[in-house]
């Protein structure tokens, strides 16, 4: 018995790139840090909120790479000369990736009270009807 995948299904033509994106995202190893919310703010807009307490704006990088929103954080180690009796607040780096659908664009990013908000908007899809002329062979 042959396993049908999204890219090999006979009615789903050209979706092999989507399948690769899903596989890559599944393998990215997001361990749950930092925690995040995704909310729908209107019919065509969304907001991703990450809890990034302890990170400054200069410690964060937001990029769009191959239809993926990638948010990276790396804190500078400023513990030289400090003696910790207990260190429960980790200063670890992270990378969070979110696959973007076609037509979804990244808007602005706002830091507020230890939360990073990234706004996304979806362009209104245009209905396109295309007639294909049949040529005699």
Per residue in 95-108, pLDDT (tens digit) is 999 989 888 999 99
Its pTM stands at: 0.71
Question: Where exactly are the structural domains of the chain?
Answer: 1-30, 31-122
**What does the block give as tokens for 92?**
């670890």
Residue 36's closest CA among 121, 122, 120, 118? 118
| 31-122 CATH | 2.60.40.790
Question: DSSP state, 50?
Answer: E
pLDDT tens string 30-82? 568 899 999 999 999 999 999 998 899 999 999 998 889 999 999 877 777 88
- Helix, strand, coil shares of the chain as percentages rounded to 5? 10, 35, 55
């Amino acid at each position: 018995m042959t396993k049908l995948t999204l890219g090999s299904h006979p009615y789903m033509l050209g979706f092999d790139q989507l399948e690769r994106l899903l596989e890559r995202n599944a393998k990215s190893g997001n361990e749950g840090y930092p925690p995040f919310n995704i909310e729908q703010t209107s019919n065509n807009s969304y907001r991703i909120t990450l809890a990034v307490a302890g990170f400054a704006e200069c410690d964060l990088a937001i990029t769009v790479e191959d239809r993926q929103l990638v948010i990276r954080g790396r804190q500078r180690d400023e513990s030289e000369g400090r003696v910790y009796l207990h260190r429960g607040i980790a200063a670890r780096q992270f990378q969070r990736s979110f696959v973007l659908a076609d037509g979804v664009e990244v808007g602005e990013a706002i830091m507020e009270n230890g939360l990073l908000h990234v706004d996304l908007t979806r362009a209104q899809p245009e209905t396109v009807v295309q007639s294909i002329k049949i040529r005699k062979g």
